[in-house]
Structure 1
Amino acid sequence: MARITLTVSALVALIGLQAVPVAAGECGYDYCWGAVGIGPSGEWGYSYGKWSEEDAYNTAQDGCRWGCTIVKTFYNSCGAIAVADNGAWGFGREWNRELAESTAVNWCMDNGRNCRTRVWACSK
Structure 2
Amino acid sequence: MFLDEPTAELDLKGRHDLIGVLNGLHTTMLVATHEVQTALEITDRAIVIDHAKLGEGTYPELLSNRDLLDRASLEVPPIPKLFKLLEEDGIPLGRATSVQEAAGILRKALLNSS
What's the TM-score, normalizing by structure 2? 0.29
Larger radius of gyration: 1
What's the TM-score, normalizing by structure 1? 0.27
